[in-house]
Structure 1
Amino acid sequence: MGNDEVAIKSLKKYLHTTFHIKDLGAPKYFLGIEIARSHQGISLSQRKFVLEIILEVGLSGCRPTVIPIEQNIRLTTADHTGETSQDDPILQDPTSYQKLVGKLIYLTMTKPDISYVVQNLSQFMHKPKESHMNAALKVVKYLKGCPGLMILLSRRCNMEMTAYCDADYATCPMSRRSITGFCIKLGDSLLSWKIEKQATVSLTSAEAEYWAMAKTTCEIVWIRGLLGDLGI
């Protein structure tokens, strides 16, 4: 990337003589991500990928939900709650769950609104239960209501970086570890976001908040370095 057209053409010519590449022009579809350009900026979406997931799991005719997960729901492992197999049995074939959650993880590249629930579901890939599969299908029902939701990288940008972070204290019922969540914007454009379980158990909510701020600060430093390399 760069703003020197002569240098870019020279590099393309060199790469072509070495690897025989083909210049496809401005990208429109790349690894499942649809890229559209307008006077507002560049939008990124995975609408086609979402529709393929909905069709694959057989929920084309279902009624969409307005939220990806119920409030205060606590998913647990099979050994934690003491539930009987009749109440919440372990899936005999976890492949379908693993495949679905893997695709949902890829969707978080352009859909930060499902990051929290997908982070939760990805913890049960080894021995998923029926409740885990139902929760994953609820995410698909939510996506059915907003398949074209996209990330807009605005053309108008004041180049000011803004970061938001938070911590959900001791939210994991199995480890009592807290959850860190953050998002970072450049102007009005969302650049980076993440939700993950903290590495250690925080003894107070204040400690959990500091861990969240530390993780966010690390991401800010990395993005500033990247922008510096791009001459910003």
Structure 2
Amino acid sequence: MGNDNFAVKKLKEYLHSTFHIQDLRPPKYFLGIEIARSDQGISLSQRKFIMEIISETGLSGCRPTIIPIEQNAKLTSVEYDTGTSSSSDDPLLKDPSGYQRLVGKLIYLTMTRPDICYAVQTLSQFMHSPKQSHMNAALKIVRYLNTCPGLGILLSRKCNMKMTAYCDADYATCPMSRRSITGFCIKFGESLLSWKTKKQSTVSLSSAEAEYRTMAKTVCEIVWLRGLLQDLEARVEGPTTLFCDNDSALKLAANPVLHERTKHIEVDCHFT
């Protein structure tokens, strides 16, 4: 990628002389992602890929659902259930390969569907020993996708060159490890640029600590994105605004005097 057309042309000529490549011009379909250009911007979707998933699972004529996962769904592994519930109520899948293929496709689908990120990261924890409840939850996501398979990401032509970020944490939501869930999304102008949902690496002792870890992780992503945009000579106007709904975490981040309360918090952030 680059903003120098002459340099891009010279690079194409060099690659063609070495590898005999073919210039396909502006892409319309690449690795399952449909790319459509209009006056509003560039639209990215995976409609064809979603329809293939719906067809493979046999849910083409099913009734769609409006949410990808239940709000208070507590999915657990076999080790956690040992001695606490009957295996006949929620048996292990005899052949986990179907579940693994389905969740793998859903993980790839999160590139253009951030609305299923939380549900998919929850199901991806049970790839080795999935149970029937896990498969039912995965099929519920497919039913949700059937509601609007053409939904995707719009990279808007309108851009004020300002970056904003939103982050949140679900405190101790994992019933097995009691670890919290980090979630954030970053916008560049009106376009969604980056998003992620992931379980935190350590146990947080309070909701403020969980939110503080989430803020730190989001800032790491912001710094990386601003460096990438700088390399592409795309100037970001002003500082990046980070939104968080936890007053205690905001006070910890804003007041250096409270450093003693946060020195035990380790955040896994690496820069290259």
TM, length-normalised to structure 2: 0.84
Which SS does the other structure have where 1:80 is aligned? helix
CA deviation profile, 1:10-30 (whole Å, cap 9, x unmatched): 111111111111000000000
Residue 111 of structure 1 corresponds to 113
Contact 2:114 2:195 in 1 (8 A): yes
| Mapped partners of 1:217, 1:3: distance in 2 | 27
Residues in 1 aligned to 2:113 and 2:3: alpha-carbon distance in whole angstroms: 29
Instruction: Give 1:70 deviation, angstroms.
Output: 1.1
2:165 corresponds in structure 1 to 163
State the AA in 2 paired with 1:213: M
Give the partner amino acid of 1:24.
L
Partner of 1:37: 37
Q: Deviations over 1:26-80 (max 9, x none)?
A: 0000000000000000000000000000000100110100000111110000121
Aligned-partner SS, 2:129? coil
1:70-219 matched pairs, under 5 angstroms: 70-81=70-81, 82-219=84-221
1:206 partner SS: helix
Supply the distance in 1 between the matched residues of 2:96 and 2:2 (Cα, whole angstroms).
46
Contact 2:181 2:198 in 1 (8 A): yes
Output the amino acid matched with 1:217: V
Which runs of 5 or more structure 2 residues have no equivalent in the other structure? 235-272
Partner Cα distance (2:174, 2:10) in 1? 53
Could you report, residue by residue, the CA deviation over 1:143-184 in whole angstroms, capped at 9, with x for unpaired residues? Answer: 000100010001110010000000000000000000000000
Show the counterpart of 1:221.
Answer: 223
In the aligned structure 2, how far is the partner of 1:86 from the partner of 1:176? 26
1:13 aligns with 2:13: yes
1:9 Cα offset (Å): 1.4
- Rounded to whole Å, the distance in 1 between the matches of 2:3 and 2:111 is 26
- Paired letter, 1:170: A
CA offsets, 1:118-155, max 9 Å, x none? 00000000100000000000000000001000100011
Deviates more, 1:70-79 or 1:48-57: 70-79
Q: What do you get for the CA RMSD once the two structures are aligned?
A: 0.7
CA distance in 2, matches of 1:3, 1:221: 22
Instruction: Name the amino acid aligned to 2:69.
Output: I
Structure 1 residue 5 displacement after superposition: 2.1
SS at match of 1:73: coil
Give 4+ residue runs of structure 1 displaced > 6 Å after superposition.
none
Letter in 1 for 2:94: Q
In 2, Cα distance between equivalents of 1:37 and 1:110: 16
Aligned residues between the structures: 232
CA apart distance, 1:193: 0.2
Deviation at 1:3, TM superposition (A): 2.7
For structure 1, the 5+ residue unaligned runs are: none
Distance 1:6 1:222 in 2: 27
